[in-house]
Structure 1
Amino acid sequence: MRYMATYDFMETVRNTNQWLGATARTMASYPGLALIPHPGIRWMEAWGTVTERTFERMVAKPDWGIDSFTCEDGKDHIVTPKTVVSKPFGDLIHFEVAGRKTQPRRILLVAPMSGHYATLLRSTVKSLITNCEVYVTDWHNARDIPVSAGKFDVEDYTLYLVEFMRELGPDTHVIAVCQPAPLTLAATAYLAAEDPDAQPRTLTLIGGPIDPEAAPTEVTDFGARVTMGQLEESMCQRVGFRYAGVGRRVYPGLLQLSSFIAMNSDTHARAFRDQIMRVARGEASERDKHNKFYDEYLAVMDMPAEFYLSTVDRIFKRCEIANNAFTVAGKHVDIGKITNVAVKTVEGTNDDISAPGQCVAALDLLTGLPDSMKASHLEPGAGHYGIFAGRSWRNNIRPLVLNFIDSNSGARQTASAKAAAKSAAKAAPKDTAAA
């Protein structure tokens, strides 16, 4: 119960700050106070406006905000996210474009489950939807999932990806962004052994920790330094009574957010101070640069505790993917089994989350894949966010990824077809001899 009480205490603090902001804004905007020409009143209203919005966003799931876009025919087409597969911990959604013919490229964008919603990839989706059929893994906030839904760890995550890939079929091109890269690679290897015909056509891994020890960062150092007992004791709590997931063990979003902000506290403090002054001067707007960034950055979700703990233990501490020792339901997932899925890695030289070297390590694990089906790209000057959503993505990386997809979209003989051809080849000489 003490962990549940701690969860409720954090929510109480958040709610109180939101209320204080709303109160300050309402009091300072009282018409009668306009008679007092004191800048402190305008400042209090600005502080209240920024504070209320800041703490309100922490428990709100952002909208995708992709309503329509103009196609090549010069007409605006409505975009609607439709659920293709619904699961307790996450859905597979498709961005349907009304009135547009089906695009030849079918892309599965695997979003991270690392504290933020899949909407963090909004700009990535926008850049791909223009000429691709885009599907996204939309992970759910663990606080809203009843305990009766069971656990969710790295193996469950991998099996979710396997199911999504099977649903979309072998002509799919998978792009995994950051945290899911190792597990997406494992899911592809799982299919290579269990259901070869369901493997995707290509796999692009962007800034993921395939081998965390290849290039240590502050994140990997923390994972190596802390013990699993310390993590479970200090980071995991039980969802409070307000939400449907009451009693579920989670790594709370609010706790994650405090860690995110602490990493660059001076930068964030300056950003909010400047925004308050802009609001006070009447220079801010609803969707200005500050609000667009922080509306997404502050919207955090709870992560299942078993997923968080197993990620740290198996991906970062024991490096099971890097050592090709990952197992799912007791079965060894051999990455060397991947033989006909083209794989590309993308890294940024200034990535301080998943440093250069961590992701490209995947190519050495693909012992069964010809070198002609392997590719890598290191983007100069790009940070972690830039390699999938920033200027570097739009101008350089996206064209390279689409070219890679197109160059590996030719006809591919499935495993069953290969087996049939092999059987026919064996039978042919006998038939000739008999004749």
Structure 2
Amino acid sequence: MLYQIYETQRSFMEPFTDLAEVASRMFSNPQLPFAQLPLAQRISAGYDLLHRLGKDYEKPEFGIRTVDVNGVDVAIHERVDIDKPFCELRRFKRFTDDPNTLTALKVQPVVLVVAPLSGHYATLLRDTVRTLLKDHKVYITDWKNARLVPLAEGEFHLDDYINYVQEFIGHVQGIYGNCHVMSVCQPTVPVLAAVSLMASRGEKVPLSMTMMGGPIDARKSPTAVNNLAMQRSHEWFENNVIYRVPEKFPGAGRRVYPGFLQHSGFVAMNPDRHASSHYDYFQDLVKGDNDSAEAHRKFYDEYNAVLDMDA
């Protein structure tokens, strides 16, 4: 019921958040008489903050249009190579008319970036992809929001995750002969499992496997998150954080770990810092510090965009 209650509350609040956005613009537009009222800037800032606290954050875009390769602007075309029920294998193909740059691009190595399936979208690695594109052909796993995956597609288990990674590696190898694999945070274990299984069958394995910031052995240097996992039973998590997707979504009836619960957990780890950040944003709007305000928006547009994970 919690998911249904959350969606009902969000739907109820949506008109008010839209009104808050309109009110903020009314009090900040110098062409309107509202902007001439005393404290107009503070009122506008308050409505703007209210709008951002209540709005629904959709999946951001990667938005990588060009990259600089040795002083030459190279155009980027983003496309989906493989479309699986729970994930898209996304490629960032590079184009240039400069002959020397084109020759250099053709011989550069290929890297498959396996993004975390842990709440945020793969766009969280936007800067990583942008940097890699300077001297690599780049693919990335773009995980889908489970509430948009019809129930008929079945469940998504760890073995499915590992099979996806093996299929993606095989796809890239089929095009280029071989590739490098980079896993960031959560996927280090499934990537290690996928490559290990490939090796055990005598198949071609990636040229390198880079595992960044992921706990391969979670018993070592346990954090508060590790301790919570050990203190609670499997049934506790199933009863307290797993809910069914409401009827209004394509994945209606699917059992998921909802994004809004994950987001609450993210915020709960550093509530003071987030409160301070939003107060600073309000102050920046009042002062007219547009650069700082925009930096806040950019960060929280990404941070607040979360996806449901299959149970």
> TM-score, length-normalised on structure 2?
0.89
Shift in alpha-carbon separation, 1:256–1:237, aligned structure 2, 3 A: same
Matches of 1:231 and 1:135 in 2, distance apart?
Answer: 33
Determine the structure 2 residue equivalent to 1:126: 130
Determine the structure 1 residue equivalent to 2:74: 77
Shift in alpha-carbon separation, 1:236–1:102, aligned structure 2, 3 A: same
- Unaligned ranges ≥5, structure 2: 97-101
Matches of 2:171 and 2:278 in 1, distance apart?
Answer: 44
1:68 matched to 2:69? The reply is no
Matches of 1:204 and 1:226 in 2, distance apart?
Answer: 32
1:219 matched to 2:205? The reply is no
**Root-mean-square deviation (CA), in Å?**
2.1
| Paired letter, 2:87 | G
Report the CA distance between 1:53 and its aligned residue: 3.4
Shift in alpha-carbon separation, 1:181–1:16, aligned structure 2, 3 A: farther
Pick from 94, 99, 108: which aligns with 1:97?
94
Q: How many residue pairs are counted as aligned between the two chains?
A: 299
1:107 matched to 2:111? The reply is yes
Pick from 176, 185, 208: which aligns with 2:183?
176
Pair member with larger Rg = 1
| Paired letter, 1:224 | M
Matches of 1:250 and 1:66 in 2, distance apart?
Answer: 31
Determine the structure 2 residue equivalent to 1:189: 196
Determine the structure 1 residue equivalent to 2:301: 295
| Paired letter, 1:69 | V
Matches of 1:155 and 1:138 in 2, distance apart?
Answer: 18
Instruction: Give a deviation string over 1:23-71, Cα, whole Å, max 9, x none.
Output: 54255357232342x22x3212112223323443x43111102110222
| Paired letter, 1:178 | C
Determine the structure 2 residue equivalent to 1:147: 151
> TM-score, length-normalised on structure 1?
0.65
Matches of 1:300 and 1:33 in 2, distance apart?
Answer: 36
- Whose RCO is larger (CA < 8 A, sep 6+)? 2
Report the CA distance between 1:289 and its aligned residue: 2.2
3-state SS of the aligned residue for 1:246?
coil
| Paired letter, 1:85 | I
3-state SS of the aligned residue for 2:203?
helix
Determine the structure 1 residue equivalent to 2:99: none
Report the CA distance between 1:140 and its aligned residue: 0.4
Determine the structure 2 residue equivalent to 1:25: 24
Runs of 4+ in 1 over 6 A off after TM superposition: none
Report the CA distance between 1:287 and its aligned residue: 7.4
3-state SS of the aligned residue for 1:198?
coil
3-state SS of the aligned residue for 1:104?
coil
Instruction: Give a deviation string over 1:123-165, Cα, whole Å, max 9, x none.
Output: 1111111000111001001111111111001111111001101
1:50 matched to 2:49? The reply is yes
Report the CA distance between 1:14 and its aligned residue: 6.0
Matches of 1:289 and 1:297 in 2, distance apart?
Answer: 12
